[in-house]
Amino acid sequence: MTADYVIIGSGSAGSAMAYRLGQAGKRVVVIEQGGTDAGPFIQMPAALSYPMNMGIYDWGFQSEPEPYLGGRRLATPRGKVIGGSSSINGMVYVRGHARDYDTWEEMGAQGWSFADVLPYFKRMETWHGDEGDAEWRGTDGPLHITRGPRKNPLFNAFIKAGQQAGYPTTADYNGAAQEGFGAMEATIWKGRRWSAANAYLRPALKQGNVQLVRAFARKIVIENGRAVGVEVSRGDKVEVIRAGAEVIVAASSINSPKLLMLSGIGPAAHLSEMGIPLVADRPGVGQNLQDHLEIYMQYQSAKPVTLYKYWNLWGKGIIGAQWLFTKTGLGASNQFEACAFIRTREGIDYPDIEYHFLPIAVRYDGKAAAGGHGFQVHVGPMRSKSRGAVTLRSADPADAPRILFNYMSHPDDWDEFRRCIRLTREVFGQPAMQPYVKSEIQPGLAAQTDAELDAFLQEHVESAYHPCGTCRMGRADDPMAVVDPECRVIGVEGLRVADSSIFPQVTNGNLNGPSIMTGEKAADHILGRKLPKSNLEPVMNPNWRTSQR
């Protein structure tokens, strides 16, 4: 079997590339280990806590014991299904802040400034927002972006409380101004999860020149310094799928560096330790691992307005039935319908905290609801200075890699998290929230001093599941860069990486949007074309030097 392009991974970036390359008349094979995304667990937005905990849809990765979190191992879900992680994520859509991309360019990702990437965000979107600046948004892309109905009074109470605390509101955090409180956007369309599989892969497969192969990618086949195909296993058979033009790795920030290392591309000493013959010594492969951590600040509700009343088999059954037959009701929302992006202190020029508000107090994995009516906000710093690594456990492709995030290894992380807690308490203490706040469940008002907050944090911070950075993009002469700004692997011909692993630094907010944009832009690099730069300028807080809000 031969194609022009062989893409490893049908996730956010892989599906977008398959669609655009197929549109341009190229023959494309997409390799995906996971199976179908059919069924309510994936397609029903409110069921989001299920697929990321189901072995059939998730690779089931875990971090190594994290030294700064008392040796806790944290779950690291990655999608093993058509659509990849876009089929098991929380469906929150955030482009990131303009400054994120300008920083990428400063870090050596030439041509990835905000002016360069905004046209790709616009190309990929069909935006259904109720307010905001249409000039900033796309109107006819494959990815539908919607907002929840915000019928629950808690959503608007949260936004109002932010205003009362002195923060701005934003009509569209994906538009001109990210900073402020406002409505959250989601990749949900007509009541269904609008994953990369629904938006890109299915239309690509219908074009006729894009083919999906269900197989496990073992390594990239490299002959005379050039990638010529992918070695895969299907059932008990090992075979090679050959690429006439290029192999493109889009297997996630965990599996992409693993595949490069298994193929002889990575830190020479580590590969030699694993007994893998060296093809290209790229010390940056697997390094620079970043993520967002968050805590769930939970409150008991003084009024029975939360989703807790549906937290039983009967309630879930009614929501499920309504969704199955009409694709409407509570089942058609991910329940993240209000949010905020704020700065922790003066002197920071753009937001470094994200809030997701949820009208029930429950763990992200759906395992435990706090007793009775409650609500919560997920909050955490956006730009941790901690860095970890993905390394091989062995030379066996079937072995999961070692993942060590080194969470909270930088002292600034602790300070930023304490600020998150104290600023959040202030927001929930505003008059708009007064009728609803009965008491603070966690951390609980007993935790006040730095030491008490740190003890809570060590025990309770959770990953927001935004790993990235392990095949960092940079200048071709940067020894720690893995790919150049065209997404080409430095030192190997005919091989690219395009997914969240190439991000030089984690973006502000959730990573699905930036990952799809990366696939869209990489497809243009492969085809030798590019969209003209945008001249839109983001709105920044004019007083950022002197005030926190």
Task: List residues forming the annotated binding site for FAD.
Answer: 81, 89-92
Q: Is the C-alpha dihedral spanning 323, 302, 448, 341 positive or negative? A: positive
| Closest CA relative to residue 162, chosen from 347, 380, 357, 369 | 357
Using DSSP's 3-state secondary structure scheme, residue 40 falls into helix
239 forms beta bridges with 232
Q: What is d(CA 352, CA 344) in angstroms, rounded to the nearest whole number?
A: 6
Q: What is d(CA 549, CA 536) in angstroms, rounded to the nearest whole number?
A: 24
> Residue 511 has which token pair?
């990573």
Enumerate helices (H) and strands (E) in the chain, giving the number of each: 13, 25
| Closest CA relative to residue 96, chosen from 78, 112, 79, 73 | 112
E strands along 78-225, which residues? 125-127, 143-147, 180-183, 185-186, 188-189, 192-193, 210-214, 216-223
Binding residues: 81, 89-92
Using DSSP's 3-state secondary structure scheme, residue 58 falls into strand
* Helix segments in 197-249, DSSP class H: 202-206
> Residue 419 has which token pair?
């600020």
CA distances from 92 to 86, 95, 108, 333, 362 (A): 10, 10, 28, 11, 18
CA distances from 53 to 42, 44, 75, 312, 370 (A): 11, 15, 9, 19, 20
Give Cα 236 to chain centroid, integer Å.
33
Q: What is d(CA 497, CA 519) in angstroms, rounded to the nearest whole number?
A: 10
> Residue 80 has which token pair?
């093993």
Residues sharing a CB contact under 8 Å with residue 285, sequence separation 6 or more, in sequence order: 257, 260, 261, 265, 266, 267, 470, 471, 482
End-to-end Cα, the chain, rounded Å: 58
What is the gyration radius of the CA atoms in the chain, in angstroms?
Answer: 22
> Residue 363 has which token pair?
């763990």
| Active-site annotation holds for 144 | no
Using DSSP's 3-state secondary structure scheme, residue 203 falls into helix
Q: What is d(CA 523, CA 13) in angstroms, rounded to the nearest whole number?
A: 9
Q: Which of 97, 144, 378, 466 is catalytic?
A: 466
Q: Is the C-alpha dihedral spanning 428, 429, 430, 434 positive or negative? A: positive
> Residue 85 has which token pair?
């992680």
Q: What is d(CA 117, CA 123) in angstroms, rounded to the nearest whole number?
A: 10
409 forms beta bridges with none
Catalytic annotation, residues: 466
